[in-house]
Structure 1
């Protein structure tokens, strides 16, 4: 395709042609409108900076809690840790969790606790020599989870012995018995405040309300502004509302943050130097005056109407770009002219096609487990939600857990362990019907969604799974690779019970099956 554009077809030629017809009055009006738009742009920039500060806090806290939750999930996935904690073997527990803490420490985790049910510290992984102290008087988050009959995980901000941190605490069970709690924390100190500063600029300070108004806990710089607050400001922040003040050239933001109970006892203060924007506004004003004076003698009567006609393809491209921003990538771009806009349209169409293909490929990859080739947890959760909405019963779920994977990884190697997981997925797939959905939801854990399947049918499917496992074991020579899978299922016949609850029931049944098989194997010896 010839990318060269003839001059007579170029946009420059067309604009040059109509620019000779000018009128002072029209250009003066356009100058005034341009000046108003510049002032509006500066105002919008200030609002964007303010919104950016708030969104930065929300995103960073969300990411931090996800890191803490994922870290706890990985820790609790190791049954040896729960057993060592249950046995109160502090030395073994420290050895088991120290590698995990070193990895978590690299992403900002600074607190790693194990607490006993009586609210005393059993092990501080970050300070192993300090333990046995009573937390009941100042660690309400520890007391709350112990007083909760269901002992649900709790996340939030709380001040501890070592300072104020984002915390995530969860109960630890061993053999169905409550052993205590495990907690991860990410310090609300210079590290996080430095991230806020790098992302949205300004100086950041972590403040805590007290009887005098507020006190500073951490900050990225020394603040030239007083930290005292009046009653109206305290009430405003206490209701969770962002307080923004200006003291030219500074913009001062106070963003309240809630602790784990939902009380706004802390806030983040951001001080942003607005001198650059103010200087830009003044420069724009000077430039506008000079431009208006020089262009008053060179306006054009026909410029507005003619340019609208000539630049109609550009408006068409703008509409297409806005559609792309909204996520619509399946509409093609078609411009029949031969000027620069047409060339730009053809280039944009190639980009659209490339992005569309890439998004489709990424969408497929986001739902697929790379090791086994089957669907992953993300896809399984989406299908669970769809089943909840369709309400097509009965629905059954099978939870499958590959046994002895740690033994294979340690004895033969992780590559062999990966192969064992992939073979397990193939065995499960062979035992399923075309309508059944097999997904890998964890390291060695699979889930099978069986729509329109009653309990009797599930039992037959589990029998087929066992037959496939037996065929697999007969075909391999390495006894260390013998496949053993613990299975549990649950069936839902109406919407009185959610599929999430049913999945938890299936998981518990799988765990009972695993324990039963372990006992049978132990008794055989």
Structure 2
């Protein structure tokens, strides 16, 4: 075994292993930080969606309360004067529809019979108790309720309250509803999300008999659900598949679409009776997060390579330049001295390290002593 070959090799291998371990650990920490950041984004998406749904329910209820509190509305409904009630409310509803996205406004007789659909006045008189649990509950308990329900017109976010006449006698109920489209469009405009609402196809076929548009078709079918509304149809088709959508709790994942990584959050959608009727999909562009993580990995790798090269160079300079070469030079002179050659001197000792200078001085002393001994012997 030769020290001049094995020592640098051992040191270089040790450096490479150490830097590699540090780089792997650093990359793992960076990956964990990226994952933590994405988890935070998913949590934010979830909270935004939940708060917006609650806000929409409150808006629907406050608008319904405003209309129901009007004395003329109370009087017309108590008198069961459908034409007068429509004349009073249709302009109000049109303004609410145009400005805020309200799509339904309906008065109900007890216990849950449609009296007037302001949005569709030609259709009235049917019993809603079989599928409008919120209306039944409001009239049974004479209490305010809010939530999501499927109606003959589609899916809405409702605020429903009991109606009373001038004397305070319970006469029925009134509700107003926002549709999901404006809500999802507002979320896209505010946060850059792409969203979709999926409703169970069976429920739509059974209840939403007056649903407008070509919604119930094969192109919109995803598993047992129908894509009821979306802000970006093609993108959500790539991000949410039949295998993804069958959920009963919040689920999230990251998937590439058109070369961009998207974080996808799926949330169960519950109606007023807390029965799951669909799924809400919220997707956000995670390109910036993933790009930053990729750049960090590249820089970590480059830094590791540079450090390895620098340390290898330092090892070669220290081991070979300051240690091995002086040792080889001393070894050659000692070998010559052992053979009786006292002519080889070490002149430039200043370039040597302190320890090597001591060895060189010792060599010179030994060489001088042997040389003197030879001189004395020759004189004798």
- The root-mean-square deviation of aligned C-alpha atoms, in Å, is 3.2
Taking the aligned partners of 2:144 and 2:243, their CA distance within structure 1 comes to 35
Residue number among 217, 223, 232 corresponding to 2:228 in the alignment = 217
Taking the aligned partners of 1:43 and 1:114, their CA distance within structure 2 comes to 50
1:266 is aligned to 278
Tell me how far 1:275 sits from its aligned partner.
Answer: 4.0
TM-score by length of 2: 0.61
Residue number among 139, 145, 151 corresponding to 2:138 in the alignment = 145
Tell me how far 1:57 sits from its aligned partner.
Answer: 1.0
Which secondary structure state, in structure 2, belongs to the residue aligned with residue 224 of structure 1? helix
Which secondary structure state, in structure 2, belongs to the residue aligned with residue 136 of structure 1? coil
1:438 is aligned to none
Residue number among 256, 263, 267 corresponding to 2:268 in the alignment = 256
1:120 is aligned to 113
Taking the aligned partners of 1:143 and 1:35, their CA distance within structure 2 comes to 58
1:133 is aligned to 126
Contact 1:242 1:253 in 2 (8 A): yes
Taking the aligned partners of 2:86 and 2:61, their CA distance within structure 1 comes to 20
Residue number among 291, 296, 317 corresponding to 1:279 in the alignment = 291
2:9 is aligned to none
Residue 140 and residue 270 in structure 1: after superposition, are their counterparts in 2 closer, same or farther (change >3 A)?
same
Which secondary structure state, in structure 2, belongs to the residue aligned with residue 134 of structure 1? coil
2:360 is aligned to none
Taking the aligned partners of 2:240 and 2:291, their CA distance within structure 1 comes to 26
Tell me how far 1:58 sits from its aligned partner.
Answer: 1.0
Residue 116 and residue 53 in structure 1: after superposition, are their counterparts in 2 closer, same or farther (change >3 A)?
same
Residue number among 152, 162, 165 corresponding to 1:161 in the alignment = 152
Which secondary structure state, in structure 2, belongs to the residue aligned with residue 216 of structure 1? strand
Contact 1:215 1:227 in 2 (8 A): no
2:50 is aligned to 58
Tell me how far 1:163 sits from its aligned partner.
Answer: 0.6
Contact 2:239 2:264 in 1 (8 A): no
Taking the aligned partners of 1:43 and 1:109, their CA distance within structure 2 comes to 39
Residue number among 215, 229, 251 corresponding to 1:243 in the alignment = 251
Contact 1:53 1:200 in 2 (8 A): no
> Bigger relative contact order, structure 1 or 2, given CA contacts below 8 A and separation 6+?
2
Q: Which has the larger radius of gyration?
A: 2
- Segments of 5+ residues of structure 1 without an aligned counterpart are 1-23, 299-525
Which secondary structure state, in structure 2, belongs to the residue aligned with residue 44 of structure 1? helix
Give runs of aligned pairs for residues 409-488 of structure 1, distance below 5 A: none
Contact 2:159 2:175 in 1 (8 A): yes
2:219 is aligned to none
1:394 is aligned to none
Taking the aligned partners of 1:140 and 1:80, their CA distance within structure 2 comes to 28
Residues 1:111 and 2:125 aligned together: no
Which secondary structure state, in structure 2, belongs to the residue aligned with residue 265 of structure 1? strand
Deviation readout 1:85-112 (Å, 9 max, x if unpaired): 1011223222322343244321222111
Contact 2:133 2:272 in 1 (8 A): no
Tell me how far 1:30 sits from its aligned partner.
Answer: 9.6
Which secondary structure state, in structure 1, belongs to the residue aligned with residue 272 of structure 2? coil
Residue number among 171, 176, 185 corresponding to 1:194 in the alignment = 185
Q: Which is helix-richer, 1 or 2?
A: 2
Give runs of aligned pairs for residues 62-77 of structure 1, distance below 5 A: 62-77=54-69
Tell me how far 1:35 sits from its aligned partner.
Answer: 5.5
Contact 2:46 2:265 in 1 (8 A): no
TM-score by length of 1: 0.45
Residue 42 and residue 226 in structure 1: after superposition, are their counterparts in 2 closer, same or farther (change >3 A)?
closer
Which secondary structure state, in structure 1, belongs to the residue aligned with residue 106 of structure 2? strand
Taking the aligned partners of 2:151 and 2:49, their CA distance within structure 1 comes to 21
Task: Tell me the matched-pair count.
Answer: 265
Residues 1:82 and 2:74 aligned together: yes
Give runs of aligned pairs for residues 225-374 of structure 1, distance below 5 A: 225=239, 227-229=241-243, 234=246, 237=248, 241-248=249-256, 249-293=261-305
